[in-house]
Amino acid sequence: MMPAGEQRWEVLERIGSYSAGELEDGEAREVEELLFERPEYRRLAESYARMLVMLATLGNEPVEAPEDVVGYALRKAYLSAFLRSAEAFAGALGRSYIDAFVYYLGLRRESYGGGT
C-alpha cells in the first residue's frame, strides 16, 4: 500500500490537473465527486485556480531584455563573422602566395593562374 504522504501528493497532483482542465471526462467526474465530498479539496482546487491565474497574468506581462544583452550578442556575432571572413581571406591569400612561389621556383610546369 502507498504511504500516506505519497497518496496525499497524488491527490494534490490530480486536483491540480483538474484545475488546469487537463483531465479526461471520466477522471474529471471522479475528482468532482471528491471535491463535493471534501471541502478541504474544494479549497485546494480554488487555490490552484488562483495560482494558475497568477502565473498566466505574470506570463502575459511584457518583458524586455536589457539593452546590453542584445548589444553583446550582436557584437559577438559581428566579431565572429569578421574573423571568419578574415580567416578565409588570409587562407586564400596564403594559398596564392604559395602557388606563386612554387611557380617561381619552377616546381610546377603550368603557369600561375591555372593557365597552361
Binding site for other proteins (CB under 8 A): 3, 5-6, 8-9, 11-13, 16-17, 20, 22, 40-41, 43-44, 46-59, 61-66, 68-70, 72-74, 76-78, 80-81, 84
Least Å from the CB of residue 95 to other proteins: 20
Residue tagged 602557388 (cell numbers): 99
Of 36, 12, 39, the closest CA to residue 4 belongs to: 12
Rounded to whole angstroms, how far apart are CA atoms 44 and 9? 12
Per DSSP, the three-state class of 21 is coil
Q: Which CB atom, from 71 or from 97, has the smaller least distance to other proteins? A: 71
Least Å from the CB of residue 96 to other proteins: 22
Count of beta carbons in the 10 Å neighbourhood of residue 41: 19
All three cell numbers of 33, joined, read 465527486
Least Å from the CB of residue 6 to other proteins: 5
Q: Which CB atom, from 16 or from 103, has the smaller least distance to other proteins? A: 16
Q: Which CB atom, from 80 or from 96, has the smaller least distance to other proteins? A: 80
Please compute, for residue 29, the number of CA atoms within 13 A of its CA located in the half-sphere on the CB side: 2
